[in-house]
Structure 1
C-alpha cells in the first residue's frame, strides 16, 4: 500500500510538473474574458469601419479616379508626343550644327594646310631658282673660259 501511495504521489507530482494543460486552459479563459469583456469588441468595430471604408473606396473613389485618369491621359499623351517631336528636331538641328561646324573646322584646316603647302612650294622654288642661278653662272663662266681658250687657238 505504501508503494501505491508513493506511485500515486509521484504521478501527481509528474502531472503538475510536466502536464501544463490545466494552467494553459486557465490562461486561455483569462485572455478570452479580458479580450471580450474589457475591450467591448472594439477591434471588431474598427475592422468593420475599415471594411466599409475599403468598400466605399472601391465603389466610388476608384471609378472616379479611373475616369479622370482616362480623360486626362489622352491629353498628356498628345503633349508628350509634341514634346518628343520638338526634342527630336532640336537634336537634329544640333547634329546639323555640329556637322557644319565640323565641316568649317575641316575647311579651315584644309586652307591652313594649303597655305603651308604654298609656302613650302615658294621655299622650294627659291631653292631651285638659286640652284639654277648658280648653274647658269657656272656654265656662263665655263663658256667664257672656253671662249678665251678658243680665242687663243684662233690666233695661230
Structure 2
C-alpha cells in the first residue's frame, strides 16, 4: 500500500509539474492579458486625448474642405473649363478650315497633274505619229535613192559594156 501511496504521490508531483510546465510553455493567456492591460494603460493614460484632438482636427479640416474649398475649386474649374472649351472649339474650327483648304488645294494640284499627264500623253502620241511619218519618208527616200543607184549602176554597166567591146 505504501508503494501505491508513494506512486500516487509521485504521480501527483509529476502531474503538478506537467501542469506547471504546460502553463509556462503553452498557456499564453496571462502574458496576453498583461500585454493588453499595458496597451490600454499606455493608450489611455500616457497619450491622453491626443488622438481625439487629432481626429477632431481632421474632422474640422474635412468639413472646411467640403464646405469652402471644394465649392471654390469647382467654381474656378467650371469657369476655366468653359474658357478652355471655347478655345478648343475655336481651334477645332480653325483646323477644319485648314484641312478643307488643304484638300481643295490637293484636288486642284491633282487635277493639274492629271491634265498635265494627259497633255504629255497627247504630245507623246503626236511625236510618235510624226516619227512614224518621218520614218516612212526616210524609208521612201531610201527606196528612191536605192532605185536611182540601181539605175545609175545599170547605166554604168551598160557604158562599161560599150567600152569593153572596142
TM-score band (shorter)? 0.7 to 0.9
What does residue 98 of structure 1 align with? 106
Pick from 14, 28, 33: which aligns with 2:22? Answer: 14
Cα shift at 1:67: 2.5
Q: Which has the higher contact order (CA 8 A, sep 6+)?
A: 1
Cα shift at 1:11: 1.0
1:58 and 2:66 are equivalent in the alignment = yes
1:109 and 2:129 are equivalent in the alignment = no
* Distance (whole Å) between structure 2 residues aligned to residue 57 and residue 95 of structure 1: 52
TM-score (normalised: structure 2): 0.71
**Equivalence map 1:29-108=2 (5 Å):** 29-108=37-116
1:120 and 2:137 are equivalent in the alignment = no
TM-superposition CA deviations, 1:113-132 (whole Å, max 9, x none):
33222221111111122344
Alignment gaps of 5+ in structure 2: 1-8, 149-166
TM-score (normalised: structure 1): 0.75
Cα shift at 1:4: 1.6
SS at match of 1:19: coil
Cα shift at 1:137: 7.4
User: What is the root-mean-square deviation of aligned Cα atoms in Å?
Assistant: 2.7
- Aligned pairs, number: 143
